Amino acid sequence: MSENTETARCLIIGSGPAGYTAAIYAARADLKPVMYQGMQPGGQLTITTEVENFPGYPKGITGPEMMEEFKEQAERFGTQVRGGVVTEVDFSKRPFTAKADDGRTIVAESVIIATGASAKWLGLESEKKFMGMGVSGCATCDGFFYRGQDVAIVGGGDTAAEEATYLAKLCRKVYMVHRRSELRASKAMQHKVLNTPNIEMIWDSAPEEVLGDESGVTGLRVRNVKTGEARDLALMGFFVAIGHKPNTDIFTGQVELDDQAYIKTKPGTTQTSIDGVFACGDVQDHHYRQAVTAAGTGCMAAIEAERFLGA
Ligand code: NDP
């Protein structure tokens, strides 16, 4: 074995709530987990502001602080947390191998994938500038901060439709900006959106610029793609709901993925198509996508890995 090759009983790839929870359980079960944190240590929570819906934090906590606490708890029981990225895996035979960008090759008896998903963004300069200051990728997480205010959401799929109706219960007015004149969302969701009085559809339009000042977002400039006409909407929150992309590029051809490239797991478990490889959190869940559900599946993955190794 070369000096850059090492063995691990349990390799955890990814460091959001799913990865850290898996690490806490795996470390306490004496699996001596090695974790590669990935491109965005702490995951999607590190780009949100306040987290108020994770049990145990009655006063709320910021996403980055919460992820630091998860990390501390995982390290307390002996998880080796490494700030690198796994770039390649081979699950074709056991033990599995993974190469990381620190030059190491890990030969692992079990692998827990917790690489999450990334929200797709429009790519506007102003969207980046006001991220966490009025621009959000999650209405369930951040909608509460805009109670009684006017907000906009962009997208025409089920997520945008669901989030628009959620926001409509909290906010005074919700502008739903969609680039076509027909929603992609299911008929039931379309019906809901179109029959909610405080949702105003802005059809055939694309957000052009998020307007704001040092206090955060103050408006959104949208342009009608058919007429070329621009309109400025006064609002305080702008939600982007144009889909998510699971972070599964390196797993293509290694484990079974569904038609949207999420990892397939056996219902009620975190077991992937390969024995000994488990997946937890958003990389295998496009439905709930909450920190607490990700943490729950992280716990399941570690328990299943422990049972697999003990078998
Ligand atoms: P989708 O891919 O279904 O929809 C994305 C939406 O964003 C589309 O309306 C698309 O427009 C629009 N869009 C994409 N890129 C841009 C862009 N650059 N600028 C402006 N608009 C853009 O993603 P969802 O997250 O909504 O849903 C993902 C999957 O999850 C779907 O299969 C959905 O059915 C499912 N889901 C199911 C739910 C449920 O059953 N309760 C809840 C949430 C999701 P266009 O339509 O023009 O392509």
Nearest CA to ligand 1 atom 9: 156
Q: Please state the pTM of the whole predicted model.
A: 0.79
Residues of the chain above pLDDT 90, percent: 88
The CATH number linked to 269 is: 3.50.50.60
Q: Which of 190, 193, 242 to mutate to test the pocket of ligand 1 (most atoms within 8 A of CB)?
A: 242
Q: What is the mean pLDDT of residues 226-240?
A: 98
Q: Which of 166, 176, 179 to mutate to test the pocket of ligand 1 (most atoms within 8 A of CB)?
A: 179
Nearest CA to ligand 1 atom 35: 158
Clarify whether 138 is annotated catalytic: yes
Assess whether the C-beta atom of 162 lies below 6 angstroms from ligand 1. yes
Give per-residue burial for 35-72: e unless 16+ CB within 10 Å, then b. Answer: bbbbebbbbbbbbbbbbeebeeeeeebbbebbbeebbe
For residue 16, give the 3-state DSSP assignment. Answer: coil
Domain count of the fold of the chain: 2
Q: Is 134 left (phi over 0), alpha (psi -120 to 50) or beta?
A: left
Give the domain extent around 97. Answer: 5-118+244-310
252 CB-near residues (< 8 Å, 6+ apart): 261
Q: What is the pLDDT of residues 247-301, one digit of tens each?
A: 999 999 999 999 999 999 999 999 999 999 999 999 999 889 899 999 999 999 9
pLDDT score of 1:
66
Q: What is the pLDDT of residues 56-103, one digit of tens each?
A: 999 999 889 999 999 999 999 999 999 999 999 999 999 999 999 999
- The rounded Å distance from CA 163 to ligand 1 centre is 11
- Domain C-terminal end among 196, 216, 240: 240
The reply to whether 236 and 248 lie within a common domain is: no
pLDDT surpasses 80 at 48: no
pLDDT surpasses 90 at 52: no
Rounded distance between C-alpha atoms, residue 143 and residue 32, angstroms: 39
